[in-house]
Structure 1
Amino acid sequence: MDVKTRVIEILAEQAVLDPSDVREDMTLEELGIDSMGLVESIFAIEETFDISVPFNANEPGESEFDISSVAKIIEGVKHLREQQAS
């Protein structure tokens, strides 16, 4: 399973949506994911991909990990996996 599909599944599960209802241009707010849901999503992403997301739940705007849209989260996960592989 590819990164994009799995990240969308994780976010869809958190938002209680069908993965087909999640678009890459959507924000977490549009998905209805609150700050607690975001933290749970980050944990699920870390566990699924065996990566460590540089995310500060107390200061999400200061994070190196861009959570502004589904596409940015997918991009961030791919980048972390590439870094880990090298």
Structure 2
Amino acid sequence: MSDAVKDKVIQIIAEQAVLEPSDVKMDSTLESLGIDSLGLVESIFAIEEAFDIQVPFNANEPSESDFDISSVAAIVAAVEGLVKEQA
């Protein structure tokens, strides 16, 4: 796992949750961090912008998406996969 990707994703999630990055753990869920559906969408946009990628996420049907948002670790892994595909 690339520390640069991990650190940036954690920073984005922390900003949405109004927390310090050190408060965001890899096994945290977005729900446990207090991020609602709007915060999730804003996080996705921020991730897309930060990494210049397209995230396959449908905000209307999150369970239908190929982008795993079950935990911070899952989001980091998904972003890493998308960054690798783009390279």
Normalised by the shorter chain, which TM-score bucket?
over 0.9
Aligned amino acid, residue 62 of structure 1? E
Aligned length: 85
- RMSD of aligned Cα (Å): 0.8
SS at match of 2:54: coil
Alignment of 1:23-34 (within 5 A): 23-34=25-36
In the alignment, structure 2 segments of 5+ residues that lack a partner are none
Give the TM-score, by structure 1 length. Answer: 0.97
Give the TM-score, by structure 2 length. Answer: 0.96
Aligned amino acid, residue 53 of structure 2? I
In the alignment, structure 1 segments of 5+ residues that lack a partner are none
Alignment of 1:4-19 (within 5 A): 4-19=6-21
Identity of aligned residues (%): 71
Task: Find out whether 1:74 has 2:76 as its counterpart.
Answer: yes
Alignment-derived partner of residue 61 in structure 1: 63
Structure with more of its chain in helix, by fraction: 1
Aligned amino acid, residue 52 of structure 1? Q
